[in-house]
Structure 1
C-alpha cells in the first residue's frame, strides 16, 4: 500500500455552492496546507486559485505541493445541460492538465434540488427512476477528458445529490465505466460502510476522500430534520478519529488490496472560528499518523 496525503480548499470552507463566499485568501490556504504536512492539493472552485497555469505552478512549487484534481459539479440529469457541463469540465480540466494533475472529480450538481437537500442522510434506495441521462452525461465527460486531455475522471457521490446512497452509486457504476472517488464521510452519512464498499467495489475505487462523520450529530440532524447545509454547519463532518468512520479498517482493506494512490483529507466546515481549519488540518494528519499511515 502506498497512500500519499493531500488536502483541499474545502477544508477551509471554500465550497462550489453558490452563496458561500470564501473567508480565506488562497495564498493562506496553500500555505496552511503545506505547513500542516500535506504534499498535494485540489483546485477548489475554479477561479479561487489563480487560473494562469504558469503562476499557479510557481505557487505550488514553492510550497512543494502537487495539484491533483478538482471537484466539478454539473447538471447530469438534464440532457440539454450536458454540453454546458462538458465545457465546464474541459475548462477546469485544461488547467489541471497544464499542471500535470492526473484526475478530475466529477459530481452531480449537489445541493440544487431542494427535496434532496432536505432529505440528505435520511433516505435510502434510489431517487431517480431512469439512470440513462445521468450515466450518459458522466460517460460524455469521461470519454472527452480522456481523449482530449489525458485525464482520468472519477465520480464523487455526495449527500444532497442524485448519487448519494450506496444503491445510487452502484446504479451509476453499473451503467458507466467511470471510476469512483470514495468519500468516506458522505458514504457513511448516506447509510453505507466504507470498509464494505472497498471490499465490494474496490476495483472501481480510483481516488479517496478521507472524511469522518460524527454519530451523535448525525442522529441529531436526522431527528430534527436538518437539511444538508444545516448538518454541515452543525459539525456533521468532524475531525478524523472523532466520528464513526472505521479508518483503521479502511487502511487494513486498502493494504490488502495494495492501493497505490492519493487520499485527500477533507473536513467540510462552515465555522465562525477562523483558526479552526488550520487546527483541524494538523489534527487530522496527526490522527492518521497515530494509526500508522504517516511517519513523523
Structure 2
C-alpha cells in the first residue's frame, strides 16, 4: 500500500490566533516541511491564488498541494451561495493537481470565537442533521462533477463534533460526500478513533494525523474555555509528541486498505514548539508506524519532474 505525507501551514501561521504565528514566508515554510521529509502542504493564507503563481513555487520546493480548507455554510445557507464561493477554489485545485478540498462547516460554529465556551456549541436536531447531511451530499456530488472531490472535516466547536454526530451525519449522507478523519479532533471530543475508522472506513478519503496532549484537554473547563483557548494552551501537537497511539491508528487504516494522504495538522505556539523541529518529530514517528503497518511512503512530490 502506498501513502503520502503532508503538512498544514497552521504550524507556521495560525489564521485564528495571530499570536500563534511565525513570521516566515511561504517559501521558507515549504522549505522547512520538505527538509523534514514531507512532500505535500495544504493551502494556507500566504499561498498565491492562481496556478501560474502557485505551481512554480511548489515545484521549486518539490512540494505538492495536498488539500485545503473551504469554509462552508450549508447548515444555514443554500447550495447556490456555496457553489459560487467554492468554484474558484475548484478551478485552482484542479489546475495544480490537488487531491481534494476539505469542507469545514463554519455555519453556527464557535471554533473561531474565543468568547464562546466549548459547552455552547450548536447542536442539530435529528431532522436538522438529516437535512444538513442531504445538502452536503448534493454539494459533494456537484463538486465531484466539476472534477474536485470534497472531504468532510468533523471539527471541534462545529455542528459535527462528537462521535455520535459523525455517525448521524454519515448515516444520513451519501457516498457523494467523503469523510476526512481527524484523529485529534475526534479524540478531543472524547471519541474512539479506532471505532470510527471501523465504522466509516469506506468513506474516508483524507486523514489528518493531529495528536493531542491529553493532560491539557483533561484540564479544560468546557463551561468557561473556548476551542481557541484550548489551542493556545497546547491541546494539539504532532504524532510522537502527544498522547495518541498512531501505531494503532495507522494499522487500523491499513487493515481497511486506506491509501492516500496522511496530513500533519498541529496548531500550536511556534515559539514554544518550533515548526521545523515539530515537523521532524512528526515525520519520524509517522515513518516508523507506517512502515510497521506495511505502507510504502512516496518520496517525490512531482514524479514527472
**Same fold by TM (over 0.5)?**
yes
Question: CA separation in 1, counterparts of 2:74 and 2:131?
Answer: 7
Equivalent position to 2:57, from 56, 59, 81: 59
The CA deviation at 1:14 is: 3.4
- Structure 2 CA distance, aligned partners of 1:34 and 1:272? 17
Q: 1:114 to 1:49 in 2, by over 3 A?
A: closer
Give the match for residue 233 of structure 1.
Answer: 232
Is the Cα–Cα contact under 8 Å of residues 42 and 67 in structure 1 kept in the other structure? yes
Aligned residues: 287
Aligned equivalent of 1:277: 275
Flag the 1:136–1:86 CA change in 2: closer, same or farther, 3 A: farther
Matched ranges for 1:172-211 at <5 A: 172-177=169-174, 178-211=177-210
User: Structure 2: 5+ residue runs without aligned partners?
Assistant: 300-305
Residue in structure 2 matched with residue 94 of structure 1 by the alignment? 91
Deviation by residue 1:159-217 (Cα, 9 ceiling, x = unmatched) = 01111111111221122221110010001001112111111111111110001111110
- The 8 Å contact of residues 111 and 227 in structure 2, kept in 1 or not, is answered as no
Offset at residue 61 of structure 1 (A): 1.0
Q: How many angstroms apart in 2 are the aligned matches of 1:4 and 1:92?
A: 22
Residue in structure 1 matching 2:160, options 160, 163, 169? 163
The answer to whether 1:6 aligns with 2:6 is yes
- Structure 1 distance, partners of 2:170, 2:213, is 28
Pair 1:134–1:114, CA change in 2 (3 A): farther
Shift, 1:242, TM fit: 3.0
Aligned equivalents of 1:58, 1:274: Cα separation in 2: 32
* Structure 1 unpaired stretches of 5+: none
Deviation at 1:79, TM superposition (A): 3.0
- The whole-number CA distance in structure 2 between the counterparts of 1:18 and 1:132 is 33
Query: Contact 2:209/2:238 (CA < 8 Å) preserved in 1?
Result: no
Write the deviation string for residues 87-134 of structure 1: whole angstroms up to 9, x where unpaired: 2222212110111112111010143686995126x98xx811112442
Q: Secondary structure at the match of 2:150?
A: strand
The whole-number CA distance in structure 2 between the counterparts of 1:56 and 1:140 is 30
Contact 1:117–1:161 (Cα < 8 Å) also in 2: no
CA contact (8 A) 2:37 2:283 kept: yes
The answer to whether structure 1 residue 33 and structure 2 residue 27 are counterparts is: no
User: How big is the shift at 1:157?
Assistant: 0.5
Contact 1:116 1:160 in 2 (8 A): no
TM-score, normalising length: structure 2: 0.85
Q: Could you tell me how far apart the structure 1 residues matched to 2:17 and 2:170 are?
A: 28
The higher-RCO structure (CA 8 Å, 6+ apart) is 2
In structure 1, the partner of 2:261 is 262
Distance 2:160 2:116 in 1: 12
| Matched position secondary structure for 2:287 | helix
Task: Specify the alignment match of 1:77 in structure 2.
Answer: 75
